[in-house]
Amino acid sequence: MHYNNYLVIPIPYLVAQNKALRIKFNITISLIVKSNLSGELVRLQVQLNRGIANQLTDGVIVELAQNHIDDFENLWREQLRVFQTEDKFWDWLFKLGYISNNENEEGYALEVEGCTQGLMMVETQLHGSREAIGQRLVYIQYITSAPWNRKEIQRPPRYRGVGAALLRYARIRSIELGYGGRVGLHSLRSSERFYENQGMIDFGSEEEYEDMTYFEYGLLRRTLR
C-alpha cells in the first residue's frame, strides 16, 4: 500500500499484558519507508486504544519538530508541574536544537489528530550493550507521554500504548541501523515497572547515572508481531 509517495508495510503485534493493571491492548504499527525502497525508516503509523471503551485510534510517529515543542510547552507543561512529575523541567526546545547539530541524535513524536501524545530522543552511535559487550545499541535518552495519557494523572488515560509504541519504534530503528533490535535506557523511578512489563532486562541501578536503573532489550530473535 502506498501513502503520499511512501510504501506502507503493516506490522500488527500484541503488547504484553500489563501485570499491574491486568489490561491487554493491541497496537498496530505500519512501517513507512521511502518509495524508492532505500530502506530509510521515516516514520510509523500506529493504532492506540482510546479511553474506557478501548476504541482504536490512528496515530503516527514522526520526526521531532517545533510544533511538538509548542504542544509540550502549551498543553503539557502546566499539568506536569501541578502533578510534580519527574520530567516537568525537561527542555525539549534545547533538545531539538541539540538534535539538529548532532548526527548521532534523533528525536521523534507520536501524534494523534495533530496533537502530540508522546516524545522520544535517542542516541544512535556511542552506546554499547550491557548484555552483549562490544555491540552497539540505540540508547533512549528521553521518552515521555502526554500527561493525559498517564494513569497517575487521568483515569482512564486518553490513549493507552504511547510509550510501548515509541519503544517499538526505537527497536525497529535499532534493526535498521544493524544493531539487531538492541535498545537501552536508564529509567526514572516511576517508570521502572512499565519497562519490566515491556519485557526489558533489568541490569540494576548505576551510581554514575544517579542510581537510575538500566534496562535493555537484547538481540531480537523473532519478527515484531
The cell numbers describing 108, all together, are 521523534
Residue with cell 537501552: 184
The Cα 205–Cα 224 span in angstroms is 28
Q: What is the chain's Cα-based Rg?
A: 17
Instruction: Assign domain 64-217 to a CATH class.
Output: alpha beta
Rounded to 5 degrees, φ, ψ at 217 are: -90, 130
Q: How is the chain split into domains, by residue range? A: 64-217
The stretch 204-214 carries a mean pLDDT of 95
224 pLDDT band (50/70/90 cuts)? low
C-alpha cell at 31: 512501517
Question: What residue type is assigned to position 27 of the chain?
Answer: I
> What does the pLDDT look like over 74-116, one tens digit per residue?
999 999 999 999 999 999 999 999 999 999 999 999 999 999 9
Indicate whether this model's pTM tops 0.85: no
Average pLDDT over residues 114-125: 98
pLDDT of residue 62 exceeding 60? yes
Query: Which of these, 181, 189, 196, 191, lies nearest to 145 by C-alpha position?
Result: 191
pLDDT digit string, tens, across residues 127-163: 999 999 999 999 999 999 999 999 999 999 999 999 9
